Amino acid sequence: MTRRDGTTHLEKLIRANASDLLAYLERRVDPRADAADVLSEALIIAWKKARSAPADEIGGRRWLFTIARNTLLNARRATRRRLAATDRLRQELEQTSTGPDHDSSDTIDVRGAVTQLPKEQRELVELVHWDGFSIADAAQIMGVSDSTARSRYAAAKDRLRALLVGAPEDSKHR
């Protein structure tokens, strides 16, 4: 519902309560700077539900705080899920890293050589050998043509060969 001065009821509610909503969230969000993100999310939800906003100021204020609280609870749940997933991944990586080949000198040599490749070649090699993509799939992921990916891959193989076994870098790829 638009008023004569061009503002909606919700705009007036938000103007009257935004600083209090932000303070409410800042006292409950860690880090405090994330309170602005939660408030932004809450206001988006309020705009989507504008038709259900109570007409009176007190009811409208309570309605906004309810939305802010529910948004905060959702943000906390999402954070807990993300942290739990991160912990599970960390544990899985720790278990994987204790495997027999993890600390072998060959593995360390190859990883070191890959880090010395130019950025585009390194990303391509990692996508193909570490992530299991084909060269064509890796090309799409990187946003380059298949032929560009193939030539980068050939150059990367030549460079890795030179780094790992001392073969001349300018040898032709067959």
Give per-residue burial for 84-117: e unless 16+ CB within 10 Å, then b: eeeeeeeeeeeeeeeeeeeeeeeeeebeebbeeb
Whether residue 173 has pLDDT greater than 50 = no
Phi, psi (deg, nearest 5) at residue 159? -65, -45
The encoded tokens of residue 95 equal 């278990």
Whether residue 80 has pLDDT greater than 70 = yes
pLDDT (mean) for 15-37: 94
The answer to whether residues 86 and 113 belong to one domain is no
- Asked if the structure places residue 80 within a domain, the reply is yes
Q: What domain range is 146 assigned to?
A: 105-165
CA–CA gap between residue 64 and residue 53 (Å, rounded) = 8
The encoded tokens of residue 23 equal 């303070």
Phi, psi (deg, nearest 5) at residue 2? -95, 135
Looking at the structure of the chain, the number of domains it has is: 2
Q: What is the pTM of this model?
A: 0.54
Pick from 51-55, 119-123, 140-144, 160-164: least confident: 160-164
The answer to whether residues 93 and 132 belong to one domain is no
